[in-house]
Amino acid sequence: ATDGSGTDIPLLKPALAAFKASIIVPGLADHRFVARSQLRLPNPLRIMDLPGTLVVHNPFRASILLEGTNCAVYPCKGINAGNHSKCDIYWDAAVGNFTPEHIGETIPGASSVLLKEHPLRLAHLLDPEVIKSTFALVDGHSIIRLTGSMEISIGAFRTTVDYDETDVPVCLRLPLHPCQDFPLSNKVVSSRSVAEDLIFA
């Protein structure tokens, strides 16, 4: 504890109060935490906010409470010509941050959940046509990189984890392009095989 209350020995209290530790946990090669994402054009009254949602996958047995995210979003500048699910080069600067709002949603173990809609807060004002060309490079779809941190809780344990995910599929929902291949219900998918089909289809 930061107040030294983790010990009854007075001489150890200052040392424990100043003690800090960190651990690096490698990413999961076969499962991505953010499976895919979807954005809409902003409301004319809130032109700096792109409404967006994520499909989040929890590959672990324990439930995860996602408190919030502070992730910079980098759009793809050049999609791989031979594999449209890969990006060869991303923007040098982030287009915005996902998300300034509190999330507070639980992802059950071995499940995928479509989160409620939250804004991608733009770093700079973008014309709707620029948004379309940025997030709809190929047939209304594109790829983004998310990098930053996430606040998560597992039971009584709450922590901030660094997060960096590349090649996250994104679909920009437009009147003539409703992103039909994106799951639009808030249903929890708890079967591991179904969840993997959802993510890697």
Give the number of other Cβ atoms within 10 Å of residue 199's Cβ.
18
Q: What is the pLDDT along the chain (201 residues), one digit of tens a residue?
A: 555 555 667 776 676 666 665 555 555 555 688 999 999 999 999 999 999 999 999 988 899 999 999 999 999 999 999 998 999 999 999 999 999 999 999 999 999 999 999 999 999 999 999 999 999 888 788 999 999 999 999 888 889 999 999 999 999 998 888 887 665 455 555 544 333 333 333
Instruction: Give the residue from 146, 139, 145 showing the smallest Cα distance to 174.
Output: 139
Apex CA 54: angle with CA 71 and CA 29, to 5°? 75
Whole-Å CA distances, 38 to 42, 64, 129, 169: 13, 22, 17, 8
- HEC string of the chain equals CCCCCCCCCHHHHHHHHHCCCCCCCCCCCCCCCEEEEEEECCCCCCCCEEEEEEEEEECCCCCEEEEEEEEEEEEEEEECCCCCCCEEEECCCCCEEECCCCCCEEECCCEEEECCCEEEEECCCCCHHHHHHHHCCECCEEEEEEEEEEEEEECCEEEEEEEEEEEEEEEEEECCECCCCCCCCCCCECCHHHHHHHHHC
pLDDT, residue 20, reads: 60
pLDDT, residue 60, reads: 85
pLDDT, residue 184, reads: 47
71: its two tokens = 């992730």
pLDDT, residue 9, reads: 73
Q: Sign of torsion, CA 102 108 112 114?
A: negative
Name the pairing type of β-strands 96-98 and 118-122.
antiparallel
List phi, psi (to 5°) of 169.
-65, 140
- pTM of this structure: 0.78
pLDDT, residue 2, reads: 54
20: its two tokens = 């800090």
